[in-house]
Structure 1
Amino acid sequence: MTSSRFAFPPSGDAIFLTDGGLETTLVFLDGVDLPCFAAFPLLRSEEGRARLERYFEPYIRTAVERDVGFILDTPTWRANTDWAAKLNVPPAELASMNEEAVRWASGLRDRLSDTRDRILINGVVGPRGDGYRADAQMTAEEAQAYHAPQVEAFREGAADLVSAVTMNYAEEAIGIARAAEALGLPVVISFTVETDGRLASGETLQSAIERTDRETGHAPAYYMINCAHPSHFDGILSERDGWTRRVRGLRANASAKSHAELDEATELDPGDPNDLARRYRGLRERLTQLSVLGGCCGTDHRHIAAICEACVPASSRAA
């Protein structure tokens, strides 16, 4: 992370792509059975690792070919104690798998890119509960204690950063940010919102970001929005509001459906990749600090390629 072009945290001049919807792609497009929507058990087998590599490879190649950075997620969104217990994964094995997920991602980076700082290894922390419902909420102190073991495993595996993804209430985000800071890892917080632009807890995105900053001493490197269609949050992001400058990344859904509708869906709604790309471009023209661009539920490599083409035209890429 020493290159000026691909320095962390990224600025508006240093674009980083991410992948799309890992779990939805595996389940709906590849026909993989993922109990509890958990991808991390795939690391247990050579077949599972190969499947993960096939999933990530086109995204990484797009970033390399188009001369932009890439943030490579570990497949660990469900790899916390409560979800692991539902999958009969004991705590000792869980810690080992989180650490191994970082090493696996690092190996993939080395195989697909000859510039290490172009691809950052991101330890993904998901919500303790359901990403779509703010039930069984923890205090910030409880969240820090709960998530610290996973963050520590990422540190032991030598992750470049940690991201808390699909956060739907502020206390859990605050706890994860504190855990990462205490362990010396850069941290990113990604909130998800409902169709009205508010978190599932009812708190506004502005309040959640400002409160997280205030209660962590601005520990997050930046904030993201994920698992919501741009139409759900476009209206609350104004270039005139100072808090929106803390939002540097988008990982939107392809579908404009609500979380409740997506939860009940039996088929994938891929939306329109070109429409999604145009919405990203419009947001980035208004919010020039947006520099981490990826997808979430229903998106695949087509969506990310379209987003890259819309937001980083060929004429603006480095020679």
Structure 2
Amino acid sequence: MGRYRKELPQLGSEIFLTDSGMETDLLFNKGFELPYFASFTLLKDPKGRAAMRDYCLEHAKLAKKHGFGFIFETATWRASPDWGVKLGLERAALETVNRDAIALVEEVRDEAALDQPFVISANVGPRGDGYQAGELMTVQEAEDYHSFQAEIFADTSADMITALTMNNTLEAIGFVNAAAAAGMPCAVSFTVETDGRLPSGQLLGDAIMETDFEARKAPAYYMINCAHPTHFTSVLREGDHWLSRLKGVRANASKCSHAELDEAETLDDGNPDELGLENAALRRLVPSLNIFGGCCGTDLRHVEAIAAEISRLRKAA
């Protein structure tokens, strides 16, 4: 059982770092092949496993350097049944993969020896394309689908489950119900388009409120990922009471739209220093935000810049 499953430390006011764009970093910066963006395929490759281990350890050490807590998302974003079929894996093999990904992070946590909490977040992704809502599932269909990973993670040392790049509320609610049925605390991270709306067209605030109201047990908190701060800052500026439910941001380095990113053949890694300043501005705008990391196009440089700016804010306060 996870160390923090009964009381997630990030629900307090202390700052936590999380990691950056694992898949884009491994693919573009490290030169690994990731079919269907599935980083877990590297777990059985000694070089790939070592690269993922180093990636996790570097981010953990960065959190330690700044005196922040750390949350690491496991390499299981694509380790769900439909994606497993595309990768030629049966459910038994997928279960092994999900457990192994948790075990890898356990090893890093032991070595990192952080003074602050190190939270293991078991990561799940959307059933389909994270950038497009596509054909929507019912809530029950989504619960049935995400129960596969939720039940596995409940039997590991994972502290929680986080759904990244959710693009519609029906799947988000189904995921939350699956986590609750497995006895796991969870978080939902929505992605938004350049207009600050979900790919389904729904307003971010409405998506958060609907998920809170419709799920059998509300998630611990919400996040935004896979979008640049310029895409959603105005939405947050106009936000209402739902802003207090927002705890984290994992922003893209690029200001490109999802459609443009889909067609890109080279990595747009943006400007790390600028991204650091933009995250600090988000923290000032929404004081409940205390979890910071990166998504597509980001790497350790970006999280370092974010951490430096958040540290300056903390010292100024």
TM over 0.5: yes
1:9-20 mapped onto 2 (5 Å cutoff): 9-11=9-11, 13-20=13-20
Q: In structure 1, the residue corresponding to 2:50 is in which secondary structure?
A: helix
Say if 1:126 and 1:167, in contact at 8 Å, map to a contact too.
yes
Shift of 1:219: 1.8
Partner of 1:291: 290
Distance in 1, Cα, partners of 2:154 & 2:113: 22
Partner of 2:124: 125
1:32-43 mapped onto 2 (5 Å cutoff): 32-43=32-43
Partner of 1:158: 157
Distance in 1, Cα, partners of 2:169 & 2:250: 19
Percent identical across equivalent pairs? 47
Say if 1:77 and 1:124, in contact at 8 Å, map to a contact too.
yes
Counterpart residue identity of residue 137, structure 2: M
Partner of 2:196: 197
Distance in 2, Cα, partners of 1:178 & 1:102: 22
Shift of 1:154: 1.1
1:208-258: CA deviations, max 9, x gaps? Answer: 111000011552100000000001000011376101111110000010000
Distance in 1, Cα, partners of 2:238 & 2:248: 15
Distance in 1, Cα, partners of 2:203 & 2:286: 19
Shift of 1:316: 3.3
Shift of 1:205: 0.7
Say if 1:13 and 1:291, in contact at 8 Å, map to a contact too.
yes
Shift of 1:68: 0.6
Distance 1:239 1:13, change over 3 A: farther
Partner of 1:167: 166
1:48-59 mapped onto 2 (5 Å cutoff): 48-59=48-59
Counterpart residue identity of residue 227, structure 1: C
Partner of 1:74: 74
Say if 2:142 and 2:175, in contact at 8 Å, map to a contact too.
yes
1:42-99: CA deviations, max 9, x gaps? Answer: 1123322111012222111111121111101110111111111111111111012112
Range 217-226 or range 62-71, more displaced: 217-226
Q: In structure 2, the residue corresponding to 1:72 is in which secondary structure?
A: strand
1:1-319 mapped onto 2 (5 Å cutoff): 8-11=8-11, 13-113=13-113, 115=115, 118-217=117-216, 219-238=218-237, 241-313=240-312, 316=315
Counterpart residue identity of residue 49, structure 1: R
- Unpaired runs of 5+ residues, structure 2, are none
What is the TM-score when the length of structure 2 is the normalising length? 0.94
1:249-273: CA deviations, max 9, x gaps? Answer: 0000010000000001011101111
Shift of 1:313: 2.5
Distance in 2, Cα, partners of 1:81 & 1:193: 25
Say if 1:254 and 1:299, in contact at 8 Å, map to a contact too.
yes
Q: In structure 1, the residue corresponding to 2:10 is in which secondary structure?
A: coil
Distance 1:73 1:315, change over 3 A: closer
Counterpart residue identity of residue 25, structure 2: T
Range 282-291 or range 215-224, more displaced: 215-224
1:101-127: CA deviations, max 9, x gaps? Answer: 112211111111155x61100000000
What is the TM-score when the length of structure 1 is the normalising length? 0.94
Range 196-205 or range 41-50, more displaced: 41-50
Runs (4+) of structure 1 exceeding 4 A deviation are none
RMSD of equivalent CA atoms? 1.8
Say if 1:281 and 1:311, in contact at 8 Å, map to a contact too.
yes
Distance 1:114 1:223, change over 3 A: closer
Shift of 1:315: 6.8
Say if 2:20 and 2:250, in contact at 8 Å, map to a contact too.
yes
Distance in 1, Cα, partners of 2:21 & 2:155: 26
